[in-house]
Amino acid sequence: MNQTRRRFFQGAAAAGLAAAGWTSLAHAKVAPVTMKERSFEPIKLPRPISLAALTVLDVSPANQVLCAAKAGYSHVGIRLYPATPTETQYSMIGDTPMLRQVEANLKATGVKVLDIEILRIKPDTRAVNWKAFFETGARLGATEVLCAGNDPDFNRLCDNYAELCEIAHPFGLNLSIEPMPWCDISTVEQGGEVMKRVNRPNAGILVDPIHFYRADNKYEDIDNLPKGSLHYCQICDITADKPKTMDGILYQARNYRLSPGTGAADLPQLLKHLPNLPISIEACNADLALTMSPLDRARMYLEDMVAVLNKAGEF
């Protein structure tokens, strides 16, 4: 299977995503796979490694927990609020049936929740309205919250973010803003300015390779962040060709990430600037979702991530 998937990735990258036309490479739907049909050898993890919700968004949050456990992850990410209006929405805030099912699967498997998402800091954000979100995250045992800076007014964004940090702090939650090229906080350097302004112990910046490289960040931007700004990181890989438009970048971020170590990103070098942080593998790929089961994708990503860590000298 390793050689097959390598050829798939190499062929996809060589195609250059059809000159940024983003045509699909797969046509047949994936055959169903049950947990009992797959058996994997245990993998030693040098760091906590989590299966991000976006990576296997084609299954429910409860099944994401089972997928992470079977594939060998130590943690899982849970999406309490949808990131887009088009994705499947689950009732996850409060004592809901789906939340109870997630809790039951966490207890049965021993997998822990790393982060919850997504908190968009927008002009109309009212921090007090997110208390139930934080309560649910704490109930699941999460320690991290994925945030996006979606307010062009820097002062207002910082004020709302600081208040959110204050409300989340008693729940043991860190709030990390993920700089994304299409957001108002688009670079690590801008995120650092927010950290200096907000100055809260549970404020943070979340580095993701696809955003880091597409927004032309520099490694020293990470090193220059205020001490304590890094709580965890996301990892995926990218194609060598950079999309020419923001729509192309956005599409790739949500639909065409590559498995760690199979693309053009220098992940071992990036990881040197993100030492000892828990890793969330966010490697969503629409084409692979048509050709591989969520479980097989999750396992492939984990194997590839461990290989990258091995290359980086973490074993």
Percent of the chain residues past pLDDT 90, beyond the cut: 83
Q: What is the DSSP string of 220-260?
A: HHHHTSPTT--S-EEE-B--SSPPSSHHHHHHHHHHB-B-T
Q: Which range (83-97, 135-149, 272-286) has the least confidence?
A: 83-97
Q: What count of other Cβ atoms lies within 10 Å of the Cβ of residue 60? A: 16
**51 and 68 in contact (C-beta within 8 Å)?**
yes
| Alpha carbons 147 and 132: distance in angstroms, whole number | 16
- 69 close to 40: Cβ distance less than 8 angstroms: no
Return the closest-CA partner of residue 191 out of 201, 202, 203.
Answer: 203
User: Above 50 in pLDDT, residue 313?
Assistant: yes
Q: What is the pLDDT of residue 189?
A: 98
Q: What is the pLDDT of residue 84?
A: 83
Percent of the chain with pLDDT over 70: 89
Q: Which of 304, 313, 303 is nearest to 43 (CA)?
A: 303
**pLDDT (mean) for 7-27:** 41
The Cα 241–Cα 236 span in angstroms is 15
| pLDDT at residue 290, rounded to an integer | 93
The secondary structure element, H or E, covering residue 21 is: none
* pLDDT bracket for residue 26 (50, 70, 90): very low
Which H/E stretch holds residue 141?
none
DSSP state of 149: E
pLDDT confidence tier of residue 207, bands split at 50, 70 and 90: very high
Coil vs helix vs strand at 56: helix
For position 29, what pLDDT does the model report?
A: 59
Tell me: pLDDT of 182 over 60: yes
Mean pLDDT of the chain: 90
Predicted confidence band of residue 37 (pLDDT cuts 50, 70, 90): confident
Q: Which amino acid is at 33?
A: V
State the burial class of residue 205 (Cβ atoms within 10 Å of its Cβ: 0-12, 13-18, 19+): buried
- Mean pLDDT confidence for 121-145: 98
The answer on pLDDT for 36 being more than 80 is no
- The pTM assigned to this predicted structure is 0.89
Note the CATH number of domain 2-311: 3.20.20.150
Q: Which residue has the higher pLDDT, 87 or 118?
A: 118
Give the CB-side neighbour count of residue 242, counting CA atoms within 13 A. Answer: 13
- Per-residue model confidence as pLDDT tens digits over 95-113: 999 999 999 999 999 999 9
Q: Which of 73-87, 100-114, 163-177, 264-278 is predicted with the least confidence, judged by mean pLDDT?
A: 73-87
